[in-house]
Copies of this chain bind each other. A is one copy, B any other.
Amino acid sequence: MVSRLLPELQPSHLRESTLRSEDVYRGHFLHARRDVVRLPNGAEATREYIVHPGAVMVIALLDDGQVVLERQYRYPLHRAMIEFPAGKLDPGESVFACAQRELLEETGYTAREWARAGVLHPVISYATEAIEIWFARGLSLGARQLDAEEFLDVITATPAELLAACCDGTVTDAKTLTGTLWLQNMLAGHWSLVWKDTAVWAAER
């Protein structure tokens, strides 16, 4: 369905076209580029942005109705944050393989069924990053497989606790707030998901 909010054909009166593009920083983690673009009025402007490989977030539903969350120190904010499990795609990795890997490595859970909900763009003004939103259920708990330099707590919450934490400012991570929008509308029956067995998703790669 094409919403009246966003025409299928992207409007040409807003479009910016690339004139030149160059790397300006390549670090261990961050990769920044600077492009010169042609604006709709014909003028030139500069656009700087982070190039990101993409990521996936998992909303894992426990059989008792709780969801799986993580508490992790986020250095740019100098504090621990509450968030849904998520991680970047490895080179050549499928989104579904990444979802399974991140959930297992960070929390120890494997899932019997998965559903792809949608996508979110965390920072449309200065990064290419897209995060696919997946749901998982039929969870079995095994051992976590954290990297040597990864430190995080796995916690669980009821949807009501999570919503209260979003309202009172305990949860401020945008991807987790977006996941909570999905969770709330899915549980209310407003937004539907198509669940498939793990093996089916793996074969669809």
Binding site for B on A (CB under 8 A): 1-6, 10-11, 13-16, 24-25, 27-30, 32, 34-35, 37, 39-41, 43, 45-50, 69, 71-77, 79-83, 118-130, 148-149, 151-153, 155, 157, 161-175, 177-178, 180-181, 184-185, 190-191
Q: A181–B179 Cα gap in the complex (Å)?
A: 10
The 3 residue pairs across chains A and B that have the minimum distance between CB atoms: A174-B174, A3-B170, A49-B76
- B122 to A155, Cβ gap below 8 A? no
- A122 to B119, Cβ gap below 8 A? no
| Majority secondary structure of chain A interface residues (helix, strand, loop or mixed) | mixed
Decide yes or no: A163 and B190 within 8 Å by CB, A82-B6, A181-B184 being known contacts: yes
Q: A6–B30 Cα gap in the complex (Å)?
A: 28
- B172 to A175, Cβ gap below 8 A? no
Q: A13–B168 Cα gap in the complex (Å)?
A: 25
- A191 to B177, Cβ gap below 8 A? no
Question: Which residues of B have CB within 8 Å of A168?
Answer: 1, 3
Q: Could you list 26 examples of A-B contacts with CB < 8 Å?
A: A1-B168, A3-B164, A5-B69, A5-B155, A6-B80, A6-B170, A11-B71, A16-B75, A28-B48, A30-B126, A32-B32, A39-B151, A41-B151, A43-B149, A50-B50, A77-B121, A77-B124, A81-B121, A83-B124, A119-B169, A121-B172, A121-B174, A123-B123, A130-B172, A174-B177, A174-B178
Q: A10–B82 Cα gap in the complex (Å)?
A: 11
- B151 to A75, Cβ gap below 8 A? no
Least CB distance, A45 to chain B, in whole angstroms: 5
Q: A1–B128 Cα gap in the complex (Å)?
A: 36
- A76 to B14, Cβ gap below 8 A? no
- B126 to A76, Cβ gap below 8 A? yes
Instruction: For A81, give the chain B residue with the smallest CB separation.
Output: B124
